[in-house]
């Protein structure tokens, strides 16, 4: 683990040299490759050094975050072209990656909390530093305070556990069992806000709308998954309380998923629509985790990985349109099939992955989540049907509104898709649909 | 219904004419053979002509209203439309791209129509020359797309 | 260059695939073979997710028909779509469609069937919105979302099948018939099949999908995609055979057959008439299936695929030559101009009506005789026979409008019958729609059905057909040349020709509520209460308190300080007085 940390730390000087934008990306690719070759045992923590290590759960999420960071660099080439503080941007991304890496790999619950919060700072810098509109300050505040507000109880909860047990190693948490309601709420609310659960999701659409493409990608790709990761780690402490109280969160998130997918139809902003759709998917993930059965855990893990790749790709597509038309409005982004026919294919592929069409990871994840939720209570079938139906509805709505028909006549200058962009989209889509061949890595991890 | 005129204000005679036209379109949908349709159209024309001389505007407005109602009750459920007119099956089937889209074609695509693009490039150069002659040379700036 | 266009290459590949399939079909049916290939993705907790492939005579034969029709249709679209800029895109989409159809046919596993089932929905969506107008946009949305209902039901079936530890439904059908969970599964399977096959609550998408290019309609919306639901139920048949829900399905599919037959008589769009006749035939397949004759349904499915694809291709030729005019009121007397096309059209129409010794006769007549043999109530019996009469009715009406009467097109026209690419492909299918009935009859039924009927019942089909044909002739003649009072009542005619208002019910009637509700939720929850209680509301409260306290602290704090000191001293003295008094 230390070698990867060192590698990232020594990449920092590289960021401040001129014209090292692609070099940093190449180095990250290299690191990705090293990391992929890491020996991973299925059941246990391995590669322990100091207090960092990883098991399958963190392994997949670290891979996801490295991958998303690489693709973020690739998608924000315009920063580099326009010389819009690319050095500091790269530095920011590397720091963010370090924080995410440490969050996922650390074994101590308090250290987890520390890195969990510090990744917030760099995302905040990304949003208010490279965003488009003045409203980004407000969005940044929303983002910061929503997540911070609920995470202070988490800190107290961690201290409480430490006081009681004198031990806050994540691996040993499976031997504890707390039957305390207050502790339960204080430990999971931070993650639920981060996920985000319905009712506390307001920061997400705002942050997405104001963030630059890289900010949206990391938000949808990894930041939401931090919450899921935390829940998967922490819920093991609360098996007894969970049996009594998890029903609240399942109901909120299933109903919320349905409402959110209806809200998607009312959006006119592409990014906001994608943000709402990702909240809807995340609500299914919350439901799956909260059932606390095997199918739910693996389903949430698979859907987190799949959704991370898929929604990040969709934000890239939204940005590709934005760079050409300088608008995210659905009224202006129309009829792109006549202008960019090849990009239409990528819209369709990512859109279909978003609506859980085979053979994407999203489908496998949704199947597992549906299995877990229906076996938890068969009445949840109806809400799941509605969520699944409407997820197809808004995905198709998004796709066909943007691609089909006449285009906006106010366009006077345009350019075709660049090969960088096609590569970017392919790198999103390919792991999403190839990994289903090796689905056992996602299904047997604890 | 069919035609919303400028400002939406219509005189009485305009309204009657519009009613007559819509009635004929409706008859066309019902009677698809030309001769049968002509016969029905003549009958319809006679009904309109009968009330053409009504001077009392109250009666005339009433008659117009009756006519509209009758048309509404007798309208065809599948009106006959030409394919390329609004409401037809092939209306706006193909998007007509503006001229500038051709500039963004891939060179390989352009190579399929060599003569056209050769002439297009010539015309562009001519246009630029004309422009510069008229308005002077443009100074070079760094332009991003 | 012309020789190696994508159309010819795909035609060649698909045609040879079809020939391979027919070879294997005859081998499998002779030796009564079933091959199951399985690839295990994962297995844990005694559940295994497998990708499985089932090869038996049924899947091989169906694959052969699908690939034959699609090869011919692709060959045909070389000419039909010749002026299309994005021909490659079109052909690739059609190929993808065929691929997903084949995946659907060969998978006996409810998870791996999703690969084909979802693929069909998505690709057919792309094909319906292929043209760039609003009509096709709306039609595509209706099609895709109606089909998505079926996808969702399949997903739910997966979650219920989990109880059995595997998703190979093939293995459980015979043993788990009386299981409670199997009952849930079968209801959902029936619903899924009803969406794909456009049975009554979901049937509005099939005529709407005619916004697609005509080769697509020929392949997708007549012969293959819509039969996927029937095929699924054929596979599930042994499970469902004695269930209450099958009776419901019988009623619904009978009504579909009847409704589509009536609507086809009121419709004037050439493609929609054919689509409605497809719907009627689908109702026939579904209903005979729900009476417990899966092999008859399969038989009719195959013969129907042949002549319906042919019918659509002929309609495509006519539409192509009439410069996109689809309204049959513009047509008439075209048999004088394009006799060969009209020949094909007539053959397929006659096959559809079940004229003896064409393809439709073998399947349809057998179905109707089995219906007469079965123990049915009068209503269902009536639905069958009236719908058979209605088939003749609209077929004759179509023939009258297209061919018999005088020419009625615009004054400038160009009709020609020398488009050999289209003609070749049509003739291939014409041979098949003459021969396939008897061929299949001999090959797939190992023993003949025994029919034992009184003469009048036996001849009932002929009676209703003749009656229907006569009425169709009379009606269309009257329609064309004189008054047609029966269309004059707007309420009735729109009720009947708009498929009992089903398109309205499944579009405006439904989405209004959901969109409105979403808007309401967005306004009241997202921009309302949850903002009030967490985001803006908190800021508001904090701001108000800050202002309140800063008023005391900053503006005139000294005065207030002094004042509060005086007050404090007063209180203190008062309390001291009270305290001292109480001593």
Please indicate if any CB of chain A lies within 8 Å of the CB of C569.
no
Nearest to C371 by CA among C380, C362, C358: C380
Give the model confidence (pLDDT) of C535-583 as tens digits: 888 889 989 988 887 776 666 667 777 778 888 899 999 988 888 887 7
* Predicted local distance difference test score (pLDDT) of residue C375: 85
pTM over cut 0.80: yes
Cα C99 to Cα C117, C282, C384, distances in angstroms: 11, 22, 35
Would you state the structure tokens that stand for residue A63, as one six-digit string? Answer: 């891979």
Instruction: Select from C111, C134, C522 the Cβ nearest to the Cβ of A263.
Output: C522
Q: What proportion of chain C, given as a percentage, has pLDDT over 90? A: 52
* Predicted local distance difference test score (pLDDT) of residue C47: 87
**Mutation for testing the A interface, residue in C130, C148, C184 having most A CBs under 10 Å:** C148
- Test A407 with B104 for CB contact under 8 angstroms: no
Let me know the angle formed at the C-alpha of A376 by A371 and A380, rounded to the nearest 5 degrees.
80
Instruction: Give the whole-angstrom CA distance, residue C251 versus residue C384.
Output: 11
Instruction: Select from B76, B78, B89 the Cβ nearest to the Cβ of C135.
Output: B89
Give the model confidence (pLDDT) of C36-55 as tens digits: 999 888 888 788 889 899 99
* Predicted local distance difference test score (pLDDT) of residue B7: 63
Instruction: Select from B95, B97, B144 the Cβ nearest to the Cβ of A81.
Output: B144
Q: How much is the mean pLDDT over chain C?
A: 88
Would you state the structure tokens that stand for residue A269, as one six-digit string? Answer: 């902003």
CB within 8 Å of chain B, chain A residues 377-436: 405-407, 409, 412-416
- Test A339 with B92 for CB contact under 8 angstroms: no
Q: What are phi and psi of C36, to 5 degrees?
A: -125, 120
Whether pLDDT at A241 is above 70: yes
Would you state the structure tokens that stand for residue C168, as one six-digit string? Answer: 């190979």
Which residues, 6+ apart, have CB-to-CB distance to A304 below 8 Å?
A: A61, A224, A225, A228, A229, A285, A365
* Predicted local distance difference test score (pLDDT) of residue C59: 93
Q: What are the structural domain ranges in chain C?
A: 535-582
CB within 8 Å of chain A, chain C residues 505-544: 514-515, 517-519, 521-522, 525-526, 530-531, 534-535
**Mutation for testing the B interface, residue in A325, A341, A406, A422 having most B CBs under 10 Å:** A406
* Predicted local distance difference test score (pLDDT) of residue B136: 81
Would the CA dihedral through A373, A375, A380, A381 be positive or negative? positive
Give the model confidence (pLDDT) of C311-346 as tens digits: 999 999 999 888 888 988 888 888 888 999 999 999
Alpha helix (H) residue ranges in A265-379: 270-290, 294-325, 336-339, 341-354, 361-376
Cα C382 to Cα A8, C319, C371, C374, distances in angstroms: 78, 35, 11, 13
Whether pLDDT at C292 is above 70: yes
Q: Are A406 and A335 in contact (CB under 8 A)?
A: yes
User: What is the CB-side half-sphere exposure of residue C242 using CA atoms within 13 A?
Assistant: 4
Instruction: Select from C133, C481, C490 the Cβ nearest to the Cβ of B36.
Output: C481
- Test A412 with B100 for CB contact under 8 angstroms: yes
Would you state the structure tokens that stand for residue A424, as one six-digit string? Answer: 């970017």
Would the CA dihedral through A335, A336, A341, A342 be positive or negative? negative
Q: Å from B104 to nearest chain A CA? A: 6
Q: Are A56 and A42 in contact (CB under 8 A)?
A: yes
Q: Are C65 and C46 in contact (CB under 8 A)?
A: no
Report ipTM (2 d.p.).
0.93
Whether pLDDT at A90 is above 70: yes
- Test C148 with A393 for CB contact under 8 angstroms: yes
Q: Å from B143 to nearest chain A CA? A: 10
User: What does the pLDDT average to over A242-256?
Assistant: 93
Would the CA dihedral through C51, C56, C58, C59 be positive or negative? positive
Nearest to C429 by CA among C321, C277, C317: C317
Please indicate if any CB of chain B lies within 8 Å of the CB of C484.
yes
Q: Is A359 helix (H, G, I), strand (E, B) or coil?
A: coil
Q: Are A367 and C111 in contact (CB under 8 A)?
A: yes
Whether pLDDT at C413 is above 80: yes
Would you state the structure tokens that stand for residue A13, as one six-digit string? Answer: 């000087």
Which residues, 6+ apart, have CB-to-CB distance to B49 below 8 Å?
A: none
Q: CB pairs below 8 Å between A and B: how many?
A: 27
Which residues, 6+ apart, have CB-to-CB distance to C498 below 8 Å?
A: B77, C263, C504
Q: What are the structural domain ranges in chain A?
A: 2-407+417-443
Which residues, 6+ apart, have CB-to-CB distance to C333 below 8 Å?
A: C403, C404, C405, C406, C407, C408
Strand partners, A329: A269
Residue of A nearest to C133 (CA): A405
Q: Are A257 and A280 in contact (CB under 8 A)?
A: yes
Q: CB pairs below 8 Å between A and C: how many?
A: 124
Q: Is B101 helix (H, G, I), strand (E, B) or coil?
A: helix
Nearest to C35 by CA among C21, C50, C18, C55: C55
Neighbours of A (≥3 Cβ pairs closer than 8 A)? Answer: B, C
Whether pLDDT at C1 is above 60: no
Give the model confidence (pLDDT) of C163-183 as tens digits: 888 888 888 887 777 788 888
Q: Are C178 and C243 in contact (CB under 8 A)?
A: no
Give the model confidence (pLDDT) of B27-79 as tens digits: 888 887 888 889 889 999 999 999 888 888 899 999 999 999 988 888 888 88
Q: Which helix (H) or strand (E) holds C495?
A: helix C490-497
Whether pLDDT at C243 is above 90: no
Instruction: Give the whole-angstrom CA distance, residue A354 versus residue A392.
Output: 8
DSSP letter (8 states) at residue A10? T
User: What does the pLDDT average to over C222-250?
Assistant: 87
Pairing of strands C35-44, C47-55: antiparallel
* Predicted local distance difference test score (pLDDT) of residue C144: 93
User: What does the pLDDT average to over B111-135?
Assistant: 89
* Predicted local distance difference test score (pLDDT) of residue C547: 85
Q: What proportion of chain A, given as a percentage, has pLDDT over 70? A: 99
Whether pLDDT at B2 is above 80: no
Instruction: Give the whole-angstrom CA distance, residue C476 versus residue A103.
Output: 77
Instruction: Give the whole-angstrom CA distance, residue A279 versus residue A285.
Output: 10
- Test B95 with A413 for CB contact under 8 angstroms: no
């Amino acid at each position: 683990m230390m070698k990867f940390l060192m590698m990232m730390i020594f990449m920092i000087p590289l960021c401040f040299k001129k014209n090292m934008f692609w070099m940093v990306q190449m180095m990250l690719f290299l690191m990705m490759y090293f990391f992929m070759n890491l020996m991973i045992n299925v059941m246990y923590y391995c590669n322990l050094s100091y207090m960092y290590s990883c098991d399958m759960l963190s392994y997949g999420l670290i891979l996801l975050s490295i991958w998303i960071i690489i693709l973020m660099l690739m998608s924000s080439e315009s920063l580099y072209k326009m010389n819009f503080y690319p050095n500091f941007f790269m530095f920011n991304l590397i720091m963010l990656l370090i924080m995410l890496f440490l969050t996922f790999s650390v074994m101590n619950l308090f250290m987890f909390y520390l890195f969990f919060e510090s990744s917030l700072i760099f995302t905040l810098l990304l949003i208010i530093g490279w965003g488009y509109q003045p409203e980004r300050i407000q969005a940044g505040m929303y983002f910061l305070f929503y997540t911070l507000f609920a995470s202070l109880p988490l800190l107290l909860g961690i201290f409480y556990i430490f006081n009681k047990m004198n031990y806050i190693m994540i691996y040993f948490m499976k031997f504890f069992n707390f039957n305390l309601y207050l502790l339960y709420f204080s430990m999971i609310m931070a993650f639920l806000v981060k996920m985000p659960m319905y009712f506390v999701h307001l920061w997400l659409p705002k942050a997405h709308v104001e963030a630059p493409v890289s900010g949206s990608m990391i938000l949808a790709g990894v930041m939401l998954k931090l919450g899921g990761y935390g829940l998967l780690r922490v819920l093991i402490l609360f098996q007894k309380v969970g049996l009594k109280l998890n029903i609240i969160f399942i109901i909120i998130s299933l109903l919320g998923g349905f409402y959110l997918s209806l809200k998607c139809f009312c959006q006119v902003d592409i990014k906001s629509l994608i943000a709402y759709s990702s909240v809807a998917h995340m609500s299914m993930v919350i439901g799956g985790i909260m059932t606390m059965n095997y199918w739910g855990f693996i389903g949430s893990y698979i859907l987190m990985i799949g959704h991370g790749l898929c929604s990040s790709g969709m934000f890239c597509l939204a940005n590709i349109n934005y760079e050409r038309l300088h608008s995210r409005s659905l009224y202006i982004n129309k009829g792109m099939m006549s202008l960019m026919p090849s990009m239409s294919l990528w819209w369709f592929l990512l859109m279909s992955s978003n609506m859980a069409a085979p053979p994407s990871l999203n489908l496998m994840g949704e199947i597992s989540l549906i299995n877990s939720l229906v076996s938890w209570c068969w009445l949840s079938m109806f809400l799941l049907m509605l969520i699944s139906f409407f997820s197809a509805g808004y995905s198709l709505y998004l796709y066909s509104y943007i691609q089909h028909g006449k285009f906006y006549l106010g366009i006077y200058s345009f350019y075709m898709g660049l090969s960088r962009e096609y590569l970017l989209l392919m790198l999103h889509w390919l792991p999403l649909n190839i990994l289903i061949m090796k689905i056992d890595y996602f299904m047997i991890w604890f | 219904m069919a035609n919303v005129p400028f400002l939406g204000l219509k005189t009485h005679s305009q309204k009657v004419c519009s009613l007559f036209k819509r009635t004929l379109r409706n008859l066309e949908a019902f009677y698809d053979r030309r001769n049968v349709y002509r016969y029905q159209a003549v009958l319809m024309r006679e009904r309109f002509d009968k009330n053409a001389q009504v001077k009392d505007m109250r009666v005339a407005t009433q008659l117009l209203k009756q006519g509209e109602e009758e048309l509404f009750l007798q309208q065809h459920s599948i009106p006959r439309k030409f394919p390329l007119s609004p409401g037809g099956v092939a209306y706006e089937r193909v998007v007509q791209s503006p001229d500038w889209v051709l500039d963004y074609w891939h060179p390989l695509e352009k190579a399929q129509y060599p003569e056209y693009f050769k002439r297009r490039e010539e015309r562009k150069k001519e246009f630029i020359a004309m422009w510069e002659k008229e308005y002077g040379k443009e100074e070079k700036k760094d332009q991003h797309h | 260059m012309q020789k190696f266009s994508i159309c010819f290459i795909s035609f060649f590949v698909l045609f040879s695939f079809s020939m391979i399939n027919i070879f294997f079909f005859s081998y499998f049916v002779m030796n009564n073979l079933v091959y199951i290939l399985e690839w295990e993705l994962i297995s844990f907790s005694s559940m295994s997710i497998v990708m499985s492939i089932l090869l038996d005579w049924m899947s091989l034969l169906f694959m052969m028909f699908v690939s034959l029709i699609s090869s011919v249709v692709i060959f045909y679209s070389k000419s039909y779509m010749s002026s299309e800029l994005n021909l490659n895109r079109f052909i690739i989409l059609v190929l993808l469609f065929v691929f997903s159809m084949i995946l659907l046919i060969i998978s006996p596993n409810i998870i791996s069937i999703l690969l084909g089932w979802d693929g069909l929905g998505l690709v057919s969506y792309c094909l319906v919105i292929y043209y760039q107008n609003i009509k096709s946009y709306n039609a595509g949305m209706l099609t895709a979302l109606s089909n998505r209902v079926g996808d969702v039901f399949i997903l739910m079936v997966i979650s219920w099948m989990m109880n059995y530890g595997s998703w190979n439904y093939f293995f459980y059908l015979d043993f788990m018939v009386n299981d409670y969970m199997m009952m849930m599964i079968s209801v959902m399977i029936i619903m899924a099949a009803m969406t794909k096959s456009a049975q009554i609550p979901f049937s509005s998408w099939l005529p709407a999908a005619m916004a697609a290019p005509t080769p697509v309609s020929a392949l997708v919306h007549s012969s293959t995609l819509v039969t996927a639901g029937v095929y699924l139920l054929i596979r599930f048949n042994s499970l469902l055979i004695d269930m209450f829900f099958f009776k419901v399905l019988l009623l619904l599919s009978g009504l579909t057959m009847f409704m589509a037959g009536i609507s086809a008589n009121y419709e004037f769009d050439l493609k929609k008439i054919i689509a409605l006749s497809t719907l009627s035939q689908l109702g026939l397949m579904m209903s005979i299936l729900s009476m417990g004759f899966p092999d008859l349904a399969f038989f009719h499915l195959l013969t129907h695929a042949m002549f319906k694809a042919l019918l659509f291709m002929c309609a495509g030729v006519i539409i192509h030559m009439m410069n996109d005019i689809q309204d049959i009121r513009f047509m008439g007397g075209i048999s004088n101009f394009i006799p060969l096309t009209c020949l094909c059209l007539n053959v397929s129409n006659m096959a559809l009506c079940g004229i003896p010794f064409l393809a439709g006769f073998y399947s349809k007549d057998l179905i109707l005789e089995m219906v007469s043999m079965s123990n049915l109530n009068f209503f269902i019996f009536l639905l069958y026979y009236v719908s058979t009469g209605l088939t003749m009715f609209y077929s004759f009406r179509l023939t009258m409008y297209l061919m018999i009467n005088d020419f009625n097109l615009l004054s400038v026209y160009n009709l020609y019958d020398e488009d050999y690419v289209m003609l070749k492909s049509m003739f291939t299918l014409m041979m098949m729609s003459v021969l396939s009935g008897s061929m299949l009859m001999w090959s797939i039924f190992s023993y003949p059905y025994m029919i034992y009927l009184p003469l009048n019942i036996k001849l009932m089909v002929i009676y209703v057909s003749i009656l229907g044909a006569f009425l169709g002739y009379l009606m269309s003649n009257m329609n064309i040349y004189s008054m047609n009072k029966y269309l004059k009542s707007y309420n009735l005619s729109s009720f009947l020709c708009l498929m009992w208002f089903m398109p309205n019910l499944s579009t405006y009637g439904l989405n209004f509520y959901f969109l409105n509700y979403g808007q309401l939720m967005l306004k009241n929850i997202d921009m309302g209460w949850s903002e009030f209680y967490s985001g803006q509301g908190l800021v508001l409260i904090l701001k108000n308190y800050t202002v309140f306290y800063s008023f005391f602290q900053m503006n005139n704090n000294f005065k207030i300080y002094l004042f509060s000191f005086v007050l404090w001293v007063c209180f203190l003295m008062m309390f001291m007085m009270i305290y001292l008094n109480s001593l």
